[in-house]
């Protein structure tokens, strides 16, 4: 394939941030198709519009997802990207890799694809960007046989779950996010590969309320670590922070002189519940009032640690704005245990209840969060066989419009007009 | 040997799922899994995690464009082989992380990254980390702007904030190239959003063939699409639709369902800026991003208006906010009217919600600050 | 002389509007209008306002049942004639105020009020002032409960809070006898609301005569009412409506438009308790009241369940809240889950919003407190 | 009329709160109809249901409101209340009265009505409770000729405006609420007496953000006093509060021992904007950050006073829940002057703009706040010919759904398919 002039894109080769343009040009030496990626992108820069056609249903035999079809609308000009399908590979938990497996993937992709990737896609997949239809089965074969990987999700199915670092490298993980993500992904391979849902369904695992995998904003079912006992305090370390021996927030603010650490201003006053105070040189926490927001732990990681009775909160319904506006997940189950020992049974009971109901009641292309809004939270809680809790809401209703059920009202709804008029004549 | 088209089902393997993560853990991670006591950020992009066993894991974080080549991945592998027992990982914001188990291994590793040229070290703590972004003109069919190009232009300008930790708090920048918002735009400190502003163009030459008209009609959340006859370029009457342009909010859902209803347009499309979102539950509850600039033009290759807008907001925030205060927490403390005044952003009626939950955003109080907006 | 039915338009006077207020000002008010410097509450129900002229206006505030007789008004006039130069006023919460211009006139005035027996002095400062309320069974056609009777029962129990100033802040109690909420229920610290719980009874004997069916149908915000044939008690088929009882939220708007669709029912009707509303802009913005008890039965003459519920909430608040904290400010500081726990009120799914703006009330955060509700 | 047994009501004669039952019994000596009020109310206490019929359109000639018709559904049992119409008299501003006029009203009402009243109705009227149809014209004649009063509003019209004490007896009044209420009520007598609106329209005047007439919650057009310069500080008086010489909050908390006054805890820390601090024994306020919430003035009335450049904020749209849920008024005009000198011209321009639009666009029984919600705030602001301000909202929109107008978009909405396909083939 010939090189195209890319005067506009060339301007993106300068500057300190890594340049995907330079990277593409380099890769073009290995995969000449990259010249056409550059060429078509340059044309989009000139035209200020995409040059990819709408959709395109392609895939591998027996799977309903994992491949996103894509075709150029100017294939004659850019034959190298006439087809430009994406292959989504299901990433390993927390996105740790050996160089061995990465090199295998790269070699395969240089032979069978464009040589370009996204490390990673927003959902979490390892995204191989751009190949031809005839390559898809070959790729699938090599990936499953030689590399030992599998496709991720796309379409109306369980999307590739993802998780934060968790216990692998974080002191705050309240459960093993990587184990959960792996176990659950494998349990639901069929739901992941064979679309049977009204629409996409995402689940993400964060080890604590810092939510480093953005599960509360980006997953239909969010699993966020928390604890139900007391924050562990090392008073000596507290003194260490006060004395300046330890850098607050683990040095996250080291780049500017913010003055001497002030535990009152930086921790106690910023506690959203005001449940902390100093007493006789010791930091006190009224744990019954703590909402486990993480701020104090974040600022003094050496002094404060989550409790030991740890688990996760389950929140449901996050999604992007299409159609009713974005939603964040809503707290549905305040606390469950998340344990490999029982194969995360509590979690699985919840997700399966969601699916059973949503596959029945959900409309086409309706996310579960939208279904929840349509039927109302009280109805959804009944579906989930959960008692309504004040924790489910930020505040009780301010309108008086209660939908009483007939069985809840003494005497029911049926009334005799004769009786009524005998007492209250018209 | 290998895939046999004649016999596709031959020893086919399916549903094996992702490879087990543990095999990819560096030894120090495997050994200290769940035993970590605390961490410290030694320098921008350099973390140490200390285990109760006394072991330490040093992490070096490098930026990546996310849209990267196999050659670049192999460079990363070379570094990991040389310094990190052949292990590496990627973060949820698409940075790459190299881990070593002792302090003296850190400097050579950092030097190697810097030497590479495409692996700047940073993105930790009170910094601007890697922007979560999407496909744009590189791969998608619905974008209103590009992704990688805009991100490159913005980050070239914000680069020093990636390699330092001088901000009041972490600032999460995200980009999505259309209202589908693949990614984090709806809950980011500073969000760059591709927006369409022209109603779908009705392609009567193809619509009756390629579209399920009822689905296209049903796709519109505002019922702006109605069945109607159309005239194709041959002058023939065809089954088609009309769009009530006054009811159109340019969401693009109709195009998602029907290729014959494209919204994209060189002058109609551009970028909106949203700010003040957050995801963590730290201090305040998670927040949605709020629209503060409804439209900036698409100006490749470097989108100067967008770059300037993002930098301005970031720097006004950096000067004015208190330590630990996220962008949204700052805006709420000073009041949004002050946000617009301090950032010197003209207020547009487009920033006033008029969708489903709009009433909850109206100011039902006499509490307000007098700003330059009030004549 | 007087009205002449034979000749109604004879020297008719119209549109003269209210009499001019100034003629009713006590001299000290007239003289110091706009000159007041500050005030002080000398005792519960006794205020002094000090003018820049040095003049002082002493005010004595007395409760009234609002539903009062001309005889009682004349008693008030007697007191005003004797002590207050023949002037008095009523407050926006239906208390009566007597004003004098010197300190020595205060005690005799207070004594006179106390001596009367129906004019208890109080309602100032951190007290429970007179409940804003409505007509109930004394005059209205749509009530789900009585007004004056419930208020009497509640205030007999809260009386000491009217005559003292021991609360963390003012506590505004209001009652409305139906969802029309004539008054302050939607924004009160503690609100007592009459609620229907049975769908309209369809009176097929009268509906086709007395109702504009299309108006009745249009009146339903949820489209629960549809045209239908009905059978009257004579067995004849008549033009009527049906009500989809599953969609009915008992708002009563259909009855307002159509007398043949009564909701009222002895067992269906009762009282809901809402709390945490406020109107002032002091400290926090105005707030709506929130429903915490969806139903209590109608139990005349003294509504013991309602009285107990109101008193319980008031006293838990009084014990737990900080100085200046209104009920709603307190509940938001401790969190609504703690409100329910501390007040020992079982949480009902009826308290979860499922109307138009419901989503904004859902808890989209991991921030919550563990309470007895969580098993 | 005979006395009825009222065993239930009799139980409401005990207890310290004034008993309307005892009052009714006493009035029955003058107006025997009161026995029937008691009798029918007792029946309602027994039946747990109202015994008033629905509606009833009665009134006086030439007026469309001011009377609320009411009929008993058991008139035979209680002939004294067979008719029980309400007469709404428009109260004087701030509800000051002379005993003379009150006695006139009472005498008239004992002759022509039940002798029972509401002092006052929730909207603000002096409510005369219960009379017969044949009395209405007589009452109207006497009220207008002999007493010099007029009827208030009911129905789809301007409802009786009302106001707080204001300058008459309050140091915080930022404009003359009584003058405004009186002047405006008289200017709009026709709108008040002759229903021409889609639904009721209420306006209430509070002199400051304490809003003692609840205008933000209970009026379609709320006028709330405020100022745009600086809070006036008397530092000597500040010291007086700190030293304990003056009772905080004017003694409003005197009934309980709250400990010594702490200006930091009770004022500075409770300031919603955190714009106050102590400096060298003096209280400082950054007035540019102040939102004039009144808290500090409320707590230290001798030390702090509103500025001198005073006026009012205009908020629009409050209403009770029927039908879309309750609304509070929304800030529409941050600041106007309210002056008798110009007959409150700025206010009148605003209210007339509202009416002109609402009478055009408002649906039957749609409050203006509901109309605002239906068309959206941006559209309403255009109607009011006002620039959109950040002050109009608590926060900007979080959804991306902007309704662009054709003229705002370069090139407009019309596009050529041919051109499009030339660039982007299907
Ligand atoms: C590749 C990816 C963006 C990226 O560059 O990383 C992506 C790309 C597309 N997304 Fe997405 N979404 C991707 C993550 C997301 C996320 C983020 C996440 O999963 O954490 C979201 C927001 C969270 C959510 O799910 O709501 C997201 C919300 C959407 C939506 C809006 C869904 C909604 O309910 O609002 C659509 C529209 C649709 O489904 O028709 C959409 C549709 C699409 C389509 C398939 C376009 C379309 O109209 O069908 C895009 C294909 C682009 C292409 O040709 O490559 N994509 N999409 C991400 C998937 C990679 C991966 O598997 O890892
Ligand atoms: C590596 C990564 C997890 C992963 O599995 O890849 C990660 C790792 C850590 N996060 Fe995170 N966070 C990571 C994405 C996130 C995200 C998700 C996102 O940005 O999309 C969030 C939510 C963002 C938001 O709120 O909008 C996130 C919110 C936090 C917070 C809360 C900060 C706050 O005050 O709101 C902390 C606590 C802190 O920084 O003090 C935190 C703290 C940490 C700590 C200190 C946890 C620990 O003890 O190791 C880790 C190093 C922090 C650092 O980089 O300075 N992490 N962290 C992600 C790195 C992304 C990157 O390359 O920049
Ligand atoms: C007389 C009256 C105005 C009138 O025109 O009739 C009035 C008079 C005063 N109010 Fe008021 N308020 C009156 C109804 C209101 C209302 C309206 C209502 O209750 O329906 C409110 C809003 C209630 C709410 O927020 O829900 C109201 C909220 C206030 C506040 C704000 C309190 C707060 O912290 O939220 C103050 C300031 C204070 O009390 O420190 C205040 C302060 C005052 C002052 C101190 C003003 C002054 O300098 O004289 C007056 C005496 C206060 C007292 O009674 O302790 N007034 N005040 C009303 C007496 C009603 C009654 O009989 O009890
Ligand atoms: C008499 C009074 C209650 C009282 O005891 O004081 C009253 C009584 C009635 N109101 Fe009201 N409203 C009264 C003040 C209010 C207020 C409070 C206010 O004005 O400050 C409100 C809430 C504020 C508002 O306007 O939204 C109020 C909101 C309603 C509503 C609901 C309107 C809405 O848009 O949500 C209705 C229903 C209707 O209009 O059909 C209503 C309807 C009624 C009717 C006419 C019953 C009906 O369905 O038509 C009541 C006649 C009762 C009777 O037979 O005496 N009344 N009504 C108040 C008028 C007295 C006066 O003129 O001073
Ligand atoms: S979410 Fe919590 S546990 Fe997971 S990486 Fe972030 S801080 Fe650690
Ligand atoms: S975790 Fe948050 S709420 Fe709990 S004590 Fe720490 S700062 Fe306070
Ligand atoms: S945001 Fe829109 S344009 Fe961008 S990748 Fe997602 S769907 Fe495609
Ligand atoms: S863009 Fe959205 S609003 Fe406009 S017609 Fe299409 S679906 Fe409807
Ligand atoms: S609240 Fe309802 S029942 Fe009570 S007076 Fe108003 S309209 Fe009548
Ligand atoms: S009560 Fe309300 S919801 Fe029920 S039918 Fe009547 S109007 Fe509809
Ligand atoms: S609203 Fe303000 S001015 Fe009016 S009485 Fe209340 S405190 Fe005084
Ligand atoms: S009025 Fe309110 S905002 Fe202004 S200084 Fe006083 S307390 Fe603060």
If you measure CA to CA, which chain B residue comes closest to C363?
A: B285
| Centre of ligand 7 from the C-alpha of residue B219, in Å | 17
Please list, in sequence order, all residues whose beta carbon lies within 8 angstroms of the beta carbon of residue A267, skipping any fewer than 6 positions away: A276, A283, A295, A296, A299, A300
Rounded to the nearest angstrom, the minimum Cα separation between A344 and chain C is 19
Q: Residue D418 belongs to what H/E stretch?
A: helix D417-423
Between chain B and chain C, the number of residue pairs with CB atoms below 8 A apart is 22
Q: What is the pLDDT of residue A2?
A: 81
CA torsion through residues A161, A165, A167, A170, sign = negative
Q: How far is D390 from chain B (nearest CA, A)?
A: 5
From the number of C-beta atoms within 10 Å of its C-beta (0-12, 13-18, 19+), residue A374 rates as middle
Smallest CA separation from ligand 9 atom 7, residue: C180
C-alpha span between D135 and D114 (Å, rounded): 11
Over chain C (375 residues), the average pLDDT of each successive run of 10 is 87 97 98 98 98 98 98 98 98 98 98 98 98 98 98 98 98 98 96 98 96 96 96 96 97 96 98 98 98 98 98 98 98 98 98 96 98 94
Chain C, chain D: beta-carbon pairs less than 8 Å apart: 405
The finding on whether D298 has its CB within 6 A of some atom of ligand 11 is no
In tens, the pLDDT along B284-330 reads 999 999 999 999 999 999 999 999 999 999 999 999 999 999 999 99
Could you tell me if the CB of B89 is within 6 A of ligand 2?
Answer: no
pLDDT, tens digit (0-9, with 9 covering 90-100), for B25-45: 999 999 999 999 999 999 999
Give nearest CA residue, ligand 5 atom 8.
A170
pLDDT of residue B375: 87
Question: Among A228, A330, A398, whose Cβ lies nearest the Cβ of C364?
Answer: A330
Average pLDDT over residues B186-193: 98
Instruction: Decide: D388 and D419 in contact? Cβ < 8 Å.
Output: no
Q: What is the pLDDT of residue D161?
A: 98
CB contact under 8 A, C361 and A394: yes
CB contacts under 8 A, C 347-366 vs B, are 357, 359-360, 364-366
**Chain D residue with minimum CA distance to B176:** D400
Element (H, E) at C77: helix C70-83
Among chain B residues, CA nearest to C359:
B357
Rounded-to-integer distance, Cα A422 and Cα A151, Å: 73
C-alpha to C-alpha distance for C138 and C154, rounded to whole angstroms: 17
ipTM of the complex: 0.97
- Do D50 and C41 make contact, defined as CB atoms within 8 angstroms? no
Closest C-alpha to ligand 3, atom 54: C124
Judging contacts by C-beta atoms under 8 Å, the chain A residues touching residue C141 are: none
Question: What's the rounded mean pLDDT across residues B264-272?
Answer: 98
Contacts of C300 in chain D (CB under 8 A): 8, 45-46, 48
Contact: D423, A49; criterion CB under 8 Å: yes
Considering only CB atoms, which chain A residues are within 8 Å of B264?
49-50
Put simply, the answer to whether B159 touches A94 (Cβ < 8 Å) is no
d(CA D358, CA D198): 8
Q: According to the model, what pLDDT value does residue B321 have?
A: 98
Asked whether the predicted pLDDT for residue B240 surpasses 70, the reply is yes
Q: What is the pLDDT along chain A (426 residues), one digit of tens a residue?
A: 689 999 999 999 999 999 999 999 999 999 999 999 999 999 999 999 999 999 888 999 999 999 999 999 999 999 999 999 999 999 999 999 999 999 999 999 999 999 999 999 999 999 999 999 999 999 999 999 999 999 999 999 999 999 999 999 999 999 999 999 999 999 999 999 999 999 999 999 999 999 999 999 999 999 999 999 999 999 999 999 999 999 999 999 999 999 999 999 999 999 999 999 999 999 999 999 999 999 999 999 999 999 999 999 999 999 999 988 999 999 999 999 999 999 999 999 999 999 999 999 999 999 999 999 999 999 999 999 999 999 999 999 999 999 999 999 999 999 999 999 999 999
Length of chain D: 426
Taking CA atoms only, the protein residue closest to ligand 6 atom 7 is A271
Secondary structure (3-state) at A56: coil
Q: Which of D175, D249, D225, D257 is nearest to C39 (CA)?
A: D249
Going by pLDDT thresholds of 50, 70 and 90, the confidence category of residue D407 is very high
CB atoms under 10 Å from CB of A195, counted, come to 18
φ/ψ region of B24 (left if φ > 0, alpha if ψ in -120 to 50, else beta) reads alpha
Distance in Å, CA C181 to ligand 9 centroid: 6
Closest ligand 6 atom to the C-alpha of C367? 3
Indicate whether D52 pLDDT > 70: yes
Nearest to B266 among A47, A107, A120 (CB): A47
Which residues have CB under 6 Å of ligand 6?
Answer: A 271-273, 275-276, 285, 290-296
Do D397 and B191 touch, CB atoms closer than 8 A?
A: no
Q: Do B141 and A54 touch (CB under 8 A)?
A: yes
Given an 8 Å threshold on Cβ–Cβ distance, is D8 in contact with C300?
Answer: yes
Contacts of C118 in chain D (CB under 8 A): 18-19, 22-23
Cross-strand pairs, B271: B194, B296
Determine the pLDDT at residue A260: 97
Q: How far apart, in whole angstroms, are the C-alpha atoms of residue D157 and residue C107?
A: 45
Query: Nearest Cβ partner of C249 from A387, A403, A409?
Result: A403
Tokens of residue A73, six digits = 């609308």
Q: Are B324 and A266 within 8 A, CB to CB?
A: yes
Summarised one tens digit per residue, pLDDT across range D315-340 is 999 999 998 899 999 999 999 999 99
Whether the CB-CB separation of D376 and D393 falls below 8 Å is answered with no
Kindly state whether C249 is in contact with chain A, defined as any CB-CB distance less than 8 angstroms.
Answer: yes
Following DSSP, what letter does each residue of D164-198 receive, concatenated?
Answer: --GGGT-TT-SS-HHHHHHHHHHHTHHHHHS--SS
B6 CB within 8 Å of a chain C CB = no
DSSP letter, residue B205:
T
C-beta neighbour count of A341 within 10 angstroms: 7
Q: Rounded to whole angstroms, what are the CA distances from A353 to A203, A347, A383, C94?
A: 14, 10, 8, 55
CA dihedral A87, A91, A97, A100 (to 10 degrees): -40
Task: Closest CB to C367: pick one of B281, B357, B366.
Answer: B281
Beta-strand relationship, C270-275 and B225-231: unpaired
Q: Coil, strand or helix: which one is A416?
A: coil
**Does the Cβ of B181 fall within 6 Å of ligand 1?**
yes
Instruction: Reduce the DSSP state of residue B118 to 3 states and report it.
Output: coil
Q: What confidence score (pLDDT) does residue C1 get?
A: 65
State the nearest Cα–Cα gap between C87 and chain A, in angstroms. 41
Question: Which bin fits C303, alpha (ψ -120 to 50), beta or left (φ > 0)?
Answer: left
Under 8 Å CB-to-CB from D75, ≥6 apart: which residues? D81, D82
Pocket perturbation via mutation, ligand 4, pick of C149, C182, C288 by most ligand atoms within 8 A of CB: C182
Report pLDDT digits (tens) over B53-96: 999 999 999 999 999 999 999 999 999 999 999 999 999 999 99
User: Which chains border A (3 or more CB–CB pairs < 8 Å)?
Assistant: B, C, D
pTM over 0.90: yes
> So what's the pLDDT on residue C364?
98
Q: Give the Cα separation of C64 and C87 in Å (integer).
A: 17
Calculate what percentage of chain D has a pLDDT beyond 90: 98
How far apart are the C-alpha atoms of D330 and A75, rounded to whole Å?
55
Query: What Å distances lie between residue D49 and A394, C133, C194, C267, D104, CA to CA?
Result: 36, 18, 12, 9, 35
* Shortest alpha-carbon distance between residue D115 and chain A (Å): 26
B79 lines ligand 8 (CB under 6 A): no
Residue given tokens 């990614």 in the structure block: B183
Question: Residue whose CA is closest, atom 2 of ligand 10?
Answer: C251
Q: Is B109 on the interface with A (CB under 8 A)?
A: no
């Amino acid at each position: 394939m010939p090189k195209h002039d890319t005067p506009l894109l060339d301007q993106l080769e300068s500057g300190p941030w890594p340049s995907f343009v330079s990277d593409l040009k380099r890769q073009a030496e290995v995969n000449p198709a990259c010249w056409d990626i550059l060429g078509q992108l340059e044309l989009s820069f000139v035209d200020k519009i995409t040059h990819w056609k709408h959709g395109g249903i392609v895939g591998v035999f027996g799977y309903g997802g994992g491949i996103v079809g894509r075709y150029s609308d100017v294939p004659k000009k850019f034959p190298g990207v006439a087809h430009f399908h994406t292959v989504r590979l299901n990433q390993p938990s927390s996105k740790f890799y050996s160089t061995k497996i990465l090199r295998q993937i790269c070699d395969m992709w240089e032979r069978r694809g464009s040589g370009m990737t996204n490390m990673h896609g927003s959902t979490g997949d390892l995204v191989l960007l751009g190949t031809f239809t005839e390559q898809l089965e070959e790729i699938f074969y090599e990936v499953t046989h030689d590399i030992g990987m599998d496709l991720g999700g796309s379409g109306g199915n369980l999307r590739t779950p993802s998780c934060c670092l968790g216990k692998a490298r974080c002191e705050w993980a309240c459960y093993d996010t990587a184990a959960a993500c792996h176990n659950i992904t494998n349990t639901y391979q069929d739901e992941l590969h064979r679309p049977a849902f009204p629409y996409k369904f995402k689940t993400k695992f964060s080890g604590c309320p810092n939510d480093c995998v953005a599960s509360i904003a980006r997953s239909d079912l969010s699993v966020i670590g928390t604890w139900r006992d007391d924050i562990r305090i090392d008073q000596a370390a507290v003194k260490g922070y006060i004395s300046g021996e330890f850098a607050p927030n683990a040095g996250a603010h080291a780049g500017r002189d913010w003055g001497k650490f002030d535990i009152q201003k930086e921790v106690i006053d910023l506690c959203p519940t005001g449940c902390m105070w100093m007493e006789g040189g010791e930091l006190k926490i009224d744990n019954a009032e703590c909402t486990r927001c993480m701020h104090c732990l974040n600022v003094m990681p050496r002094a404060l640690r989550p409790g030991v009775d740890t688990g996760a909160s389950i929140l449901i319904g996050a999604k992007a704005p299409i159609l009713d506006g974005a939603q964040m997940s809503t707290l549905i189950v305040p606390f469950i245990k998340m344990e490999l020992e029982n194969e995360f049974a509590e979690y699985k009971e919840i997700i399966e209840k969601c699916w059973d109901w949503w596959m029945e009641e959900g409309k086409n292309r309706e996310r579960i969060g939208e279904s929840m809004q349509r039927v109302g939270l009280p109805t959804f809680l009944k579906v989930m066989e959960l008692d309504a809790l004040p924790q489910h809401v930020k505040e009780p209703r301010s309108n008086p419009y209660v939908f009483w059920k007939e069985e809840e009202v003494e005497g029911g709804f049926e009334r005799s007009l004769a009786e009524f008029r005998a007492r209250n004549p018209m | 040997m290998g895939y046999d088209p004649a016999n596709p089902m031959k020893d086919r393997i399916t549903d094996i799922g992702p490879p087990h993560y543990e095999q990819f853990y560096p030894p120090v991670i495997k050994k200290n899994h769940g035993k970590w006591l605390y961490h410290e950020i030694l320098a921008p992009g350099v973390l140490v995690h200390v285990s109760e066993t006394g072991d330490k894991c040093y992490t070096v974080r490098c930026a990546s464009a996310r849209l990267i080549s196999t050659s670049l991945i192999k460079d990363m592998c070379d570094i990991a082989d040389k310094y990190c027992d052949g292990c590496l990982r990627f973060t949820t914001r698409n940075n790459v992380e190299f881990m070593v188990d002792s302090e003296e291994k850190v400097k050579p590793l950092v030097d190697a990254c810097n030497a590479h040229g495409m692996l700047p070290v940073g993105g930790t703590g009170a910094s601007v980390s890697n922007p979560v972004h999407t496909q744009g003109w590189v791969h998608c069919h619905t974008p209103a702007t590009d992704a990688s190009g805009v991100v490159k232009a913005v980050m070239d300008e914000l680069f020093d904030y990636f390699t330092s930790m001088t901000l009041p708090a972490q600032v999460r920048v995200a980009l999505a190239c259309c209202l589908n918002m693949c990614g984090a735009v709806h809950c980011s400190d500073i969000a760059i959003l591709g927006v369409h502003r022209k109603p779908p163009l009705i392609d009567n030459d193809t619509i009756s063939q390629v579209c399920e008209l009822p689905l296209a009609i049903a796709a519109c959340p505002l019922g702006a699409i109605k069945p109607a006859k159309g005239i194709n370029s041959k002058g023939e009457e065809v089954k088609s639709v009309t769009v009530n342009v006054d009811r159109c909010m340019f969401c693009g859902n109709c195009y998602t369902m029907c290729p014959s209803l494209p919204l994209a347009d060189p002058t109609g499309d551009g970028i909106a800026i949203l700010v003040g979102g957050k995801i963590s539950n730290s201090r305040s509850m998670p927040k949605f991003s709020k629209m503060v600039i409804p439209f900036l033009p698409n100006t490749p290759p470097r989108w100067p208006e967008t770059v300037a807008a993002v930098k301005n907001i970031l720097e006004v925030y950096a000067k004015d906010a208190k330590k630990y205060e996220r962008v949204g927490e700052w805006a709420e403390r000073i009041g949004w009217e002050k946000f617009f005044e301090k950032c010197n952003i003209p207020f547009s009626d487009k920033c006033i919600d008029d969708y489903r939950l709009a009433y909850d955003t109206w100011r039902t109080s006499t509490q307000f600050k007098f700003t330059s907006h009030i004549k």
